[in-house]
Chains A and B, each alone.
Chain A
């Protein structure tokens, strides 16, 4: 479960304060899929980063599975991310010198991963339908394939929360549908919570709930 209460994040641009996220509060139940929509520059990515512990809020609280993540020190927060959270980005986030399999295994460099992680990574790569690309480098994969590998990587730590920032941006419709299907599969299998930022109305519509950002202000939250 995610409980966000009254978070604020502002930047000063040219001496002027810009509230990228302005007193946002919302709750997401475990296993829920919610979407966040809004214009460019409305603060969606900032919100996701605050929830994911990547940028510090000026004020407010983010509680993930009972842990107040901004009360942790940087190390503990990193470990918390490593164990409980994953991010998916719009841009290619694979390391070019690593193969698909190695990219999926990358998070294992930073924490304890009991069990046969390699077998699990292979299982994930099969799930995203790219078994034949196991040892391929990112430069030999299409944009959609790269995104699927990044999604597989997001599940290597069996996260309780996946934060996706326009995961289907600049992909064709069919691939988009593939990815959405993958998310709901994972959601069904692992009860993973998803917060998906998207410009795409259709995807937003498929989510259980929709939040809307506009000029840093969040609406539609329960």
Chain B
């Protein structure tokens, strides 16, 4: 130490009243942590809702009329199944009023010879160019579009990226894995492109003991997302009315109930966070007012030694910044911990799809929380700092008696 620095002085001051510093730090930590985890939770829920409907992954599912019960079993309990209809159903569905997006899928039930794992696997071929139900669950974005020799594995599959798994005699590279969704349909499935499925079927004739009977151009289902202002039920009725031989299954009532409950929950969390924040602001502000008040003489002495108003202002503000920075970091760490615990609980108990925002977004949110904490500290200490720096030195020294 050569010269004394103001930041060093601020640190020494904070250590002086250790308990008070600790309590304030804890307060900032709690507020930051709550706010951050609430934000992440909310954006996670919004992510999940944006992806599509809670169980089906779509508002309406269009399947062959005679396979309705199989389709429901596949989607609700992930039971492997196979059924096919003509590909032109997709073009017809797309044009129905109220349909915002549509994407095709092909369900393939692998034979026991094709897979070497104990877990019951369901093969699903999808169209990556129109898909809105599968890829949003990806743990990490794929580096490049899914190739025809690649698959995506559900979270319950004992597979990792770059593993190789054969189906019907054709080996596939695992290009990515999905987040746990709480839905067997996603968690216990392997996803590949439509093109890959057709090629696999073609090759299976020569390679596989039990070849896959799949005609090119066939599909199993069309998944539909409806436009805002349309209910799934209405669009489903329209589709059934306009297209022959199909069944349009609307997402059940559960979805909208869940959405409503969630909205209420989010509002509650936001309200609590806001109240907590105002409380923290007031408490920190009051504490800093006390800090300044009981140190009046000392601050006056600093002025007598040649500290300018700016020096005094900086000293108080620096104390607040150090405090809120430390509190903010503690809060982010604690909030992160809380979140990873709650993630498991939410997915398991509520059976709600729950998606954590991506790492860059998480980093951004954490940085935002830190900035927020520091701003809180700055706000709380601003008035006390102004008050401290505007005192006349002689007055400050006298009043401190």
How distant is B152 from chain A, measured CB to nearest CB, in Å?
A: 60
How distant is B12 from chain A, measured CB to nearest CB, in Å?
A: 5
At the interface with chain B, which of A76-84, A166-174, A187-195, A197-205?
Answer: A76-84
Residue of A at shortest CB range from B401?
Answer: A91
At the interface with chain A, which of B79-87, B186-194, B276-284, B388-396?
Answer: B388-396
Residue of A at shortest CB range from B16?
Answer: A97
Residue of A at shortest CB range from B11?
Answer: A97
Chain A 88-109 interface mask (CB, 8 Å, partner B; 1/0): 0101010111100010011111
CA distance A44 to B4 in the complex (A): 32
At the interface with chain B, which of A29-37, A52-60, A178-186?
Answer: A52-60
A interface residue count range (under 10 / 10 to 19 / 20 to 34 / 35 or more): 35 or more
Q: CB of B3 within 8 A of chain A?
A: yes
CB pair A54–B397 under 8 Å, yes or no, is: yes
Out of A93, A106, A110, name the residue touching B308 (CB < 8 Å).
Answer: A110
At the interface with chain B, which of A111-119, A141-149, A209-217?
Answer: A111-119
CA distance A113 to B301 in the complex (A): 19
CB pair B304–A55 under 8 Å, yes or no, is: no
Q: CB of B309 within 8 A of chain A?
A: yes
CB pair B4–A78 under 8 Å, yes or no, is: no
Out of B2, B4, B392, name the residue touching A106 (CB < 8 Å).
Answer: B4
How distant is A111 from chain B, measured CB to nearest CB, in Å?
A: 6
CB pair B301–A110 under 8 Å, yes or no, is: no
CB pair A54–B304 under 8 Å, yes or no, is: yes
CB pair A74–B305 under 8 Å, yes or no, is: no
CA distance A110 to B6 in the complex (A): 8
CB pair B306–A110 under 8 Å, yes or no, is: yes
Q: CB of B359 within 8 A of chain A?
A: no
Out of A49, A97, A110, A117, name the residue touching B305 (CB < 8 Å).
Answer: A110
CB pair A109–B12 under 8 Å, yes or no, is: no
| CB contact list, B217-258 vs A, under 8 A | none
Out of A49, A52, A110, name the residue touching B307 (CB < 8 Å).
Answer: A110
Q: CB of A12 within 8 A of chain B?
A: no
How distant is A107 from chain B, measured CB to nearest CB, in Å?
A: 4
CB pair A55–B15 under 8 Å, yes or no, is: no
Out of A56, A79, A109, A116, name the residue touching B5 (CB < 8 Å).
Answer: A109
CB pair B2–A79 under 8 Å, yes or no, is: no
Out of B302, B304, B310, B401, name the residue touching A52 (CB < 8 Å).
Answer: B304
Residue of B at shortest CB range from A95?
Answer: B298
CB pair B306–A107 under 8 Å, yes or no, is: yes
Q: CB of B1 within 8 A of chain A?
A: yes
Residue of A at shortest CB range from B396?
Answer: A54
Out of B12, B298, B394, name the residue touching A49 (CB < 8 Å).
Answer: B394
Residue of A at shortest CB range from B7?
Answer: A109
Q: CB of B13 within 8 A of chain A?
A: yes
CB pair A55–B392 under 8 Å, yes or no, is: yes
Complex contacts, B6 vs chain A, CB 8 Å: 109
CA distance A189 to B307 in the complex (A): 27
Out of B2, B5, B310, name the residue touching A118 (CB < 8 Å).
Answer: B2
Complex contacts, B23 vs chain A, CB 8 Å: none
Complex contacts, B311 vs chain A, CB 8 Å: 78, 109-110
CA distance A149 to B120 in the complex (A): 81
Residue of B at shortest CB range from A116?
Answer: B2
CB pair B2–A98 under 8 Å, yes or no, is: no
Complex contacts, B306 vs chain A, CB 8 Å: 78-83, 107, 110-111, 157
CB pair A54–B303 under 8 Å, yes or no, is: yes
Complex contacts, B305 vs chain A, CB 8 Å: 81-82, 86-87, 106-107, 110
Complex contacts, A54 vs chain B, CB 8 Å: 300, 303-304, 392-394, 397
CB pair B392–A108 under 8 Å, yes or no, is: no
Residue of A at shortest CB range from B17?
Answer: A97
Complex contacts, A96 vs chain B, CB 8 Å: 16
Complex contacts, B310 vs chain A, CB 8 Å: 75
CA distance A56 to B393 in the complex (A): 10
Out of B4, B300, B394, name the residue touching A109 (CB < 8 Å).
Answer: B4
Complex contacts, B1 vs chain A, CB 8 Å: 102, 105, 118
Chain B 1-41 interface mask (CB, 8 Å, partner A; 1/0): 11111100100110110000000000000000000000000
Residue of B at shortest CB range from A102?
Answer: B4
| CB contact list, A18-39 vs B, under 8 A | none
CB pair B4–A108 under 8 Å, yes or no, is: yes
How distant is A169 from chain B, measured CB to nearest CB, in Å?
A: 14
CA distance A208 to B183 in the complex (A): 96
How distant is B302 from chain A, measured CB to nearest CB, in Å?
A: 7
CB pair A97–B4 under 8 Å, yes or no, is: no
CB pair A81–B12 under 8 Å, yes or no, is: no
**Residues of chain B having any CB pair with chain A under 8 Å:** 1-6, 9, 12-13, 15-16, 298, 300-311, 392-395, 397, 401
Known: A78-B309, A109-B6. 18 other contacts (CB 8 A): A46-B394, A49-B393, A54-B392, A54-B394, A55-B392, A55-B393, A74-B308, A75-B309, A75-B310, A82-B307, A93-B301, A102-B1, A105-B4, A106-B302, A109-B307, A110-B306, A110-B308, A116-B2
In the assembled complex, 7 residue pairs joining A and B whose CB atoms fall closer than 8 Å, in A order, are: A46-B394, A49-B393, A54-B304, A78-B309, A80-B306, A89-B397, A113-B3
Shortest beta-carbon contacts, A-B, top 5 = A82-B306, A55-B394, A54-B394, A109-B4, A78-B308
